[in-house]
Structure 1
Amino acid sequence: MTAPTFTESELRAAVERELPGVRADLERLVRIPGIAFDGFDHSHVERSAEAVAELLRGCGLDVQITRSGGQPAVIGRRAAPDGAPTVLLYAHHDVQPVGDLTLWLSDPFEPVERDGRLYGRGAADDKAGVMAHIAALRAFGDALPVGVVLFIEGEEEFGSDSLERLLEQHRDEIASDVIVIADSANWDVGVPALTTSLRGLINCFVEVRVLDHAVHSGMFGGPVPDALTALSRLLATLHDDAGDVAVDGLYGRTGATVDYPEQRLRAEAGLADGVSFIGTGRLTDRIWTKPALAVLGIDAPRTAEAPNALVPAAKAKLSLRLAPGDDPKRAYAALVAHLEKHAPWGAKVEVTFEHDGWPCVIDATGPMYDAARAAFRAAWDGVDAVDMGVGGSIPFIATFQEMFPQAAILVTGVEDPHSRAHGPNESLHLGEFARVCLAEALLLAKVAEVGKPAS
């Protein structure tokens, strides 16, 4: 059996034909609140995996639901025609928690279209990634020109703790010539992108203790410190006056070649009037190639319930984004050393590790990357793709690079700067989604033309 060939116009027509059904299935997936975080009902993650498995079976793939101590992943396979390469298509079916429901304009698990965007948790991140793969497979029907392996993870938003074990467990089954990771973003609405670098990640907790128990703030306040003030002073040492991360020993670099206009970033971030950017250097360097450190939350008495008492202990969750090229283990040691060194007034400081992830850099050169750029250019009607970094983290890309060093890794995505992934009112631009689906179908056709089978 040899690989079939398709013209661009045939694929355009096929994708357009399939889009209504693809959208309907996307909406069905969005209605499943598959959150892998602790404390949530994981039966919904199981439902989500079953729904994805059914979609893959409908595309003629051999499907299994698998796990290695974590949440269920779905693997679907179809063998390559003679002489054709195999492409691994990755996405994830789990989603972030929704947070404060009062900030959503509609039910996060009931998809709603407004002004050309589909709103709902996971509509963009990353159930649209799943459905972009499905759209491409449906466009080809039984005449798929490449072999495919679909790997749809079930706990990416919760840290992918079991992913490396899953990849080792199924290594021979998923070995591929090209890996397409549909979990990133495009540069703008109407401008596609290939992601060529991502920052790493360290999440940890720092607890400050100054007292054995709470005491009267009037009787003891003055000479006796409270933990919230001590924690605040400690957290303030993490940045210098300009807003750059002040932890010694972290790696950072410059040299991003894409400009990010200040007004665009202000609008996309929703920066309040009068609030300044922090840090120094080009905006793209600050977002892509330098470290960033944020305080994600603090455990302390709620203001409405706080007594007039000195707080004995307070705890904060920190998120450190690492520049490409840094080492998470070394960076964590540097952060711990900084926190212990700067503890105010002899306060007891305890740092607890949560999880980390490696940054990555991708050399996006070679025939498969040329094929991807050509597919994007066609799908976006002549607009060239931007090579961009991403400030977020997809740590398992480094694992793919290590396990499959000969594979071309293409990091693509369905999001745009207005998608608000992880936040309230997450949404998918439906016009961009149609282009993403077409681009993936065109990419598979072009990979078939230039590729070779895995050895």
Structure 2
Amino acid sequence: MAGVPEPATGDTFDPVAALSQLVAIRSVSDGKNEAAVTAMRQQVVQLFRAAGVEAAELPIGDGTSPIVYAATPTRPELKTVLLYAHYDVVPADGPWTVDGTTMDPFTPTMIDGRLYGRGAADDKSGIVLHLGTVCEFAGRLPVNLILLVEGAEEIGGGTLDEYVRNNPDRFRADVVVVADTGNLAVDEPAITTTLRGMVIVDVQVSTLAEQCHSGMYGGAAPDPFLALVKLLGSIVDDAGDVTVPGLTAYRGGWQEPDEARFRADAKVLDGVRLTGTGALADRLFGRPSVTVTGLTGLPPAEQGVNQLQPSVTARLSVRIAPDQSPADAVAALRAHLDRARPWGAHVTVTEHTVGPGFAAHPETPEFQAAEQALAGAYGRTTARTGQGGSIPLVATLQQINKGATVILWGCEEPVCRIHGEGESVAVSEVTRMTRAQTQLLRALAGA
């Protein structure tokens, strides 16, 4: 690829070159970049084949981007390890400006040891982590390997989950390694032990049969947007804690995040208080949260006219406790919204996407081997943390591999700003995580 160095394999593997090559491909999973998504998938196949793993594109149906899949010849005496990452990314509006440097989101840019570009962290760093691990063994892997790199993680939909459930033998493993989370901070190693589940719904509030003049009818004719505001306000109390009966909480024994660092990483404005009460870890990893991610039914502010609209719809992203059933969560949310309807407004809740959470089993020898490998690579004790985000496929892989150990780690520490402007990854994190994962595979082989 012009202008991007070529990654070699074996002892000369260059993670920056490999990651730069991937970041330069606009693999946005929005249905508008299919050629780039295809090019990205083909590039991943080529890189792993060059490293000695016979990867191939594997269609999974329903028009979803094929996965990149490989399974090395099975040796019964060895453990089987499944390595997961994803090659699609979220959209990025450019240009970005980072510390006075203007850059295109799909032109990899190095600044002070960090590689900037959309997907540099989420999750092309995960692909490079797996690639670097394979290269360390120069074709002589100490485990049976399954490679799974998907191309529709960012848009969900459940097609891969269904494919995995229908074809479980392709994904049988003793250990599943998901490279799509990260450490507490640069040089502060952590393994993710829980993921919250996810429920995405559209809430439509209707009060009128058609539009009418806000001056002539306003004051008596109910505004559906104000009804929606009151309805959404009923979901949380004054402190910001979610109060929907039936949405549960989970305690995971996580290391407590530093609040000042969290405020800085989340870019919370001065003077604005954090929402919720109690331990920050519990709020982020174990308790439900509700975010409004979209709104339809109102014109843009600059196009506003004196009209009452008949209905409005808000899309809600609800994160639920790691051990709560998504179906139970949807039922609890529906019941609450029905009870809280202001002025008798008509409320319709349409389920869009759901996914279960995840809780690890840190008592297994394989999990402890991962903690030791991480501590060895970083020279300090490994923390256990949670993740407020969701990766529904993890629960599916856990379900088809009863008794398997699932390990969630990666290069996506908070400064990476995944999904945001100025996404980046610390090259040192990619290097050390590759060292840790290499050591884990050696430990699993008994070396």
Task: Decide whether the 8 Å contact of 1:15 with 1:136 is kept in 2.
Answer: no
The yes-or-no answer on 1:444 pairing with 2:444 is no
After TM superposition, the score normalised by the length of structure 2 is: 0.92
Alpha-carbon separation, structure 2, partners of 1:249 and 1:179:
32
- Per-residue CA deviation, residues 139-191 of structure 1 (Å, 9 max, x unaligned), is 11122222211111111111152112332454323322211111111111111
Name the structure 1 match of 2:21: 28
The yes-or-no answer on 1:180 pairing with 2:177 is yes
Name the structure 2 match of 1:89: 83
Name the structure 1 match of 2:344: 346
Residues 407 and 81 of structure 1: CA distance in aligned 2, closer, same or farther (over 3 Å): same
1:47 to 12, 16, 39: 39
- Per-residue CA deviation, residues 89-143 of structure 1 (Å, 9 max, x unaligned), is 1111111122576678521111111222111111101111011100011111122
SS at match of 2:199: strand
Alpha-carbon separation, structure 2, partners of 1:313 and 1:106:
41
1:139 to 136, 152, 156: 136
Task: Decide whether the 8 Å contact of 1:298 with 1:315 is kept in 2.
Answer: yes
1:59 to 51, 55, 65: 51
Name the structure 1 match of 2:158: 161
Residues 202 and 261 of structure 1: CA distance in aligned 2, closer, same or farther (over 3 Å): same
The yes-or-no answer on 1:74 pairing with 2:68 is yes
Alignment of 1:39-438 (within 5 A): 39-66=31-58, 67-69=60-62, 70-80=64-74, 83-99=77-93, 105-159=102-156, 161-254=158-251, 256-299=253-296, 300-380=298-378, 382-438=379-435
Q: Alignment RMSD, CA only?
A: 1.9
Question: 1:215 Cα shift?
Answer: 1.5
SS at match of 1:350: strand
Task: Decide whether the 8 Å contact of 1:68 with 1:165 is kept in 2.
Answer: no
Task: Decide whether the 8 Å contact of 1:56 with 1:76 is kept in 2.
Answer: no
Aligned residues: 434
Alpha-carbon separation, structure 2, partners of 1:332 and 1:18:
51
- Per-residue CA deviation, residues 430-451 of structure 1 (Å, 9 max, x unaligned), is 111111111111111111117x
SS at match of 2:126: helix
Any gaps of 5 or more consecutive residues in structure 1?
1-13, 451-455
Alpha-carbon separation, structure 2, partners of 1:239 and 1:24:
47
Q: Which amino acid aligns with 1:287?
A: L
Alpha-carbon separation, structure 2, partners of 1:356 and 1:297:
17
SS at match of 1:142: coil
Task: Decide whether the 8 Å contact of 1:18 with 1:135 is kept in 2.
Answer: no
Q: Which amino acid aligns with 1:36?
A: S
SS at match of 2:314: strand
Alpha-carbon separation, structure 2, partners of 1:176 and 1:324:
22
Residues 101 and 206 of structure 1: CA distance in aligned 2, closer, same or farther (over 3 Å): farther
- Per-residue CA deviation, residues 316-346 of structure 1 (Å, 9 max, x unaligned), is 1101000122110011011111112212112
Q: Which amino acid aligns with 1:84?
A: L
SS at match of 1:285: helix
SS at match of 1:400: helix
Q: Which amino acid aligns with 2:231?
A: L
Task: Decide whether the 8 Å contact of 2:114 with 2:424 is kept in 1.
Answer: yes
Q: Which amino acid aligns with 2:226?
A: T
Q: Which amino acid aligns with 1:282?
A: A
Residues 336 and 54 of structure 1: CA distance in aligned 2, closer, same or farther (over 3 Å): same
Question: 1:59 Cα shift?
Answer: 1.8
Alpha-carbon separation, structure 2, partners of 1:406 and 1:58:
33
Alpha-carbon separation, structure 1, partners of 2:318 and 2:53:
40
Q: Which amino acid aligns with 1:242?
A: A
Task: Decide whether the 8 Å contact of 2:10 with 2:137 is kept in 1.
Answer: no
Task: Decide whether the 8 Å contact of 1:30 with 1:120 is kept in 2.
Answer: yes
SS at match of 2:419: coil
Question: 1:36 Cα shift?
Answer: 2.2
Alpha-carbon separation, structure 1, partners of 2:263 and 2:34:
37
Q: Which amino acid aligns with 2:54?
A: D
Q: Which amino acid aligns with 1:447?
A: L
Q: Which amino acid aligns with 1:393?
A: S
Q: Which amino acid aligns with 1:35?
A: V
Which stretch of structure 1 is more off in the superposition, 43-52 or 356-365? 43-52
SS at match of 1:157: coil
After TM superposition, the score normalised by the length of structure 1 is: 0.91
Question: 1:79 Cα shift?
Answer: 2.4
Which stretch of structure 1 is more off in the superposition, 304-313 or 78-87? 78-87
